[in-house]
Amino acid sequence: MDLDSYIQTHRPEWSRLEETTAGGSRALGSRPGGEITETVRLYLRASSHLAEVQTRYHDPGLERYLNGLVSRAHGAIYGGSTTSGRSFLRFFVTRYRAVFRRTLPFVAVIAILMVVVILATDLWVASSREAQAGLLPSASRQAMRDAGAVTGPGDPGSAALSTLIFQNNVQVSFLAFALGITFGIGTIWVITTNAVFIGLLAGGFQAAGEAWTFWALVLPHGFLELTAICIAGGAGLRVGWAMIDPGDRSRVTALGEEARDAVLLILGAIPAFAVAAVIEGFVTGRTGSAIAEVLLGAVVVTAYLALLLFPTKAPSPGAAPGGQTRRVRVDPAT
């Protein structure tokens, strides 16, 4: 496609982005949720157009125009006002939730794989002295031997174990997403390896008669962490499946489209890890009631999944108050 054809093809999107971001973050925040979602999509598209123009066409004038457009759109979407915070929330509950629902089958596959591997490894290690001696890492064997001492609130040993698992889970999430490009094989390998690691620890503690000690340290923040891992793994698996079965798209096109949604899922999972970190740092092993801590973790993850799964009514793009459709005339400059 030559430069003139490229401009003619994408000019309506750029003009629409100019229109929706006119007036900055305050004006954007007053728009219906559907238009905010549309603006974010157009902003991401314009950003990719800017990168393409810089690498393929090398036209200084078009580069300046797109750079200015992307900068203004970024300021309108991510401005520091309270309104922009409301805009981001609307974006989260519309675009992110829609992408999550489309990815849900892949998330479910990862969740089933993880649960099965964790439980199988846990039961195997707990009932096999040979497995305990030959498979458990030295740090895990030490943790198993010290299990009886890792029981008090704020105990250094419990904090170290909890932090180790948290850091490992965050790393696994990003690897599971990134390795989706290996046709999903790397994603499955990372998820399985991590599930085996958790199962080894769980089995070791169970063999020592301290199964509740382990799960009491893991589950308060682990419920949310493991859910975020499943989302990240589902995103990676979705990318891998797009490369295996792109449908009527080319593999390059399928990869680009699915990767954009996958990145959005990862960005949306970051707050889940942040909340889990707060629970891990200020709740796990510090209240004196392990049951209450586990219940708190269960409540938090239930609320998170409810936010993602329960339907809400969002205004459609261009919807005006009163249910009437507002027609917007776009007259792009030539």
Q: Are residues 56 and 146 in the same domain?
A: no
Spatial contact of 173 and 190, defined as CB atoms under 8 Å apart:
no
> Which tokens go with 250?
């080319």
pLDDT in tens, 36-45: 778 888 888 8
Q: Are residues 75 and 187 in the same domain?
A: no
Q: Are residues 75 and 104 in the same domain?
A: no
Q: Are residues 68 and 132 in the same domain?
A: no
What is the pLDDT, as a whole number, of residue 148?
46
Q: Are residues 125 and 49 in the same domain?
A: no
What is the DSSP secondary structure assignment for residue 57, as one 8-state letter? I
pTM greater than 0.85: no
CA 20 to chain CA centroid, nearest Å: 27
Spatial contact of 203 and 126, defined as CB atoms under 8 Å apart:
yes
Q: Looking at per-residue confidence, does 32 or 49 come out higher?
A: 49
* Buried/exposed 149-161: b ≥16 CB within 10 Å, e otherwise: ebbeeebebbbeb
Q: What is the mean pLDDT of residues 95-123?
A: 92
What is the DSSP secondary structure assignment for residue 179, as one 8-state letter? G
Amino acid present at 15? S
How large a percentage of the chain has pLDDT more than 90? Answer: 21
> Does residue 83 carry a pLDDT above 90?
no
> Which tokens go with 62?
């078009």
pLDDT in tens, 261-284: 888 888 888 888 888 888 877 887
Count of domains forming the chain: 2
Q: Are residues 201 and 296 in the same domain?
A: yes
pLDDT band at 235 (very low <50, low <70, confident <90, very high): very high
* Buried/exposed 260-291: b ≥16 CB within 10 Å, e otherwise: ebbebbbebbeebbebbbebbeebbbbeeebe
Q: Are residues 76 and 108 in the same domain?
A: no
What is the pLDDT, as a whole number, of residue 105?
94
| Rounded Cα gap, residues 143 and 158, in angstroms | 9
> Does residue 237 carry a pLDDT above 70?
yes
Q: Are residues 72 and 11 in the same domain?
A: yes
> Which tokens go with 128?
């096999």
What is the pLDDT, as a whole number, of residue 136?
63
Residue 255 belongs to domain spanning: 100-309
Q: Are residues 63 and 168 in the same domain?
A: no
Lowest mean pLDDT among 52-56, 70-74, 238-242: 52-56
Q: What is the mean pLDDT of residues 63-86?
A: 72
Rounded to 5°, angle at Cα 179 from 177 and 183: 110
**What backbone phi and psi angles, to 5 degrees, belong to 319?**
-75, 135
Mean pLDDT of the chain: 78
Half-sphere exposure of 47 (CA within 13 A, CB side): 11
